Amino acid sequence: MAQRKTERLMNLFFLLLAANQYLTKDQIRASIADYRDSTPGAFERKFERDKDELRELGIAIETGSRDPYFDDEVGYRIRRDDAELPDLSFTREEAAVIGLAAQVWDSASLAGESATAVVKLKSIGVDIDTDAMRMVEPRLSAHEPAFDDVLTAATRRIPIAFSYRKVDGTESRREVEPWGLISVRDRWYLGGYDRDRRAPRLFRLARVISDVAHVGEPGSYLVPDGVNLRDLADALFPAPPTEAAVLRVRAGRAQSLRRIAELVEPIDAETDRIAVRYASTRVLAGEIAAFGPDVVAESPASLREAVITRLRAAVREDA
């Protein structure tokens, strides 16, 4: 049941993203098997819940009509510029979109149903942007039995409990407020707040060895602002530094960067130039941006642009 719902959510995402016009409820229902096989009342309930869950994942669903000058039926779409993400400086909402797009696994039923839905829309004259579909084409596997239940819990903000086997073979019961799923080195992990450890944790789904039980109601907790599962994964699985950066740092500031510097040379009485090595442009850009005017990235250009993007985003949020 959970897998069917997940497939339905993905198919709805596909359709609204690929359509170059607003889709009416009738068009959406006719294009997705699970909607088509439901009674009118059941379809309305499923569709409203699915829209809410996509929006909870940070996906903006736009409403409107094909001709605003006439009393057309309200339709729905996902704007491509809202769904496509930059290479750098992901917000929590953008990361949620990436997480949803990444959860396309090699399921024949999902691929087949999505293709059928697109064909149906084309057959009734709906303009489909096939390029938009490429951003969510199947590329990851999700064979862990707990995947669908955990994804549903994360989407609906339901606390869960499960038995978990650690690397050393010991087992324990864990109670978690799930924040989302992330793929690290071709393995799926649940990120969330561990109520017993009272701290954020990542759990490898392959080590969940029991059914996933609900231990709370939907919406019974909030995901903290600023949560980024990729940052949590980077902390637990640090990559070796492979890139070099040159930074201008105000004297006496940014001690965390100075501690990892391979070279520090004074420019004048107020400023030093330092050289640091790093593995992730995104992570280093975030750290540099946090220091504001005290640190300036001189090179490489990709790092400098990433910092500028971060600072511009911060200005927009404060405006």
Residue 122: per-residue pLDDT = 52
Which pLDDT score, from 0 to 100, does residue 240 have?
Answer: 77
Give, in degrees to the nearest 5, the angle at Cα 314 between 228 and 287. 55
* Cβ-defined contacts of 11-15 (< 8 Å, 24+): 11/110, 11/113, 11/114, 11/117, 12/50, 12/51, 12/54, 13/54, 13/59, 13/78, 13/100, 13/101, 13/136, 14/114, 14/117, 14/118, 14/133, 14/136, 15/117, 15/118, 15/121
Rounded CA-CA distance 113/19 in Å is 16
Choose between 131 and 40: higher pLDDT.
Answer: 40
Token look-up 């750098």 returns: 88
Give me the mean pLDDT over the 19-27 stretch.
Answer: 84
Question: What would the pLDDT profile of 227-283 be if each residue is shown by its tens digit?
Answer: 777 766 666 666 678 899 999 999 989 998 998 899 999 999 999 999 999 988 888
Q: Is the pLDDT of residue 57 over 90?
A: no
Q: Spell out a b/e string for 3-20, using b for 16 or more CB atoms within 10 Å of the CB, else e.
A: bebbbbbbbbbbbbbbbe
Mean pLDDT (whole number) for 83-96: 45
Q: What's the pLDDT score for residue 238?
A: 61
Is pLDDT at 84 greater than 90 in this prediction?
no
The answer to whether residues 104 and 140 touch, using CB atoms and an 8 Å cutoff, is yes
Give the model confidence (pLDDT) of 156-208 as tens digits. Answer: 899 999 999 987 888 999 999 998 887 766 678 888 899 988 888 888 888 99
State the Cα–Cα distance between residues 267 and 16, nearest whole angstrom. 54
pTM, whole model, 2 decimals? 0.41
Given this model, what pLDDT does residue 144 score? 76
Which burial class, exposed, middle or buried, applies to 201 when counting CB atoms under 10 A from its CB (0-12, 13-18, 19+)? middle
d(CA 35, CA 40): 9
Instruction: List, for residues 295-317, the tens digit of each pLDDT value.
Output: 999 999 999 999 998 888 877 76
Question: Is pLDDT above 90 for 140?
Answer: no
Tens digits of residue pLDDT in 91-119: 444 444 444 444 443 333 344 455 555 55
Pairing verdict, β 171-184 and 263-266:
unpaired
- The rounded distance, in Å, linking the Cα atoms of 162 and 29 is 36
Q: What is the DSSP letter of 243?
A: E
Integer CA distances (angstroms), 225 to 149, 196, 229, 266, 273, in order: 24, 21, 12, 38, 33
* 46-55 residue pLDDT tens: 999 888 888 7
C-alpha torsion sign, points 219, 225, 229, 230: positive
Distance of CA 138 to CAs 23, 66, 84, 101, 253, Å?
24, 31, 16, 9, 46
**What Cα–Cα distance (Å) separates residue 21 from each residue in 75, 123, 147, 164?**
8, 15, 33, 46
Contacts (Cβ under 8 Å, ≥6 apart) of 56: 155, 156, 157
Amino acid at 243: E
For the chain, percent of residues with pLDDT exceeding 90 = 27
**Measured between alpha carbons, how far is 102 from 302 in angstroms, rounded to an integer?**
24
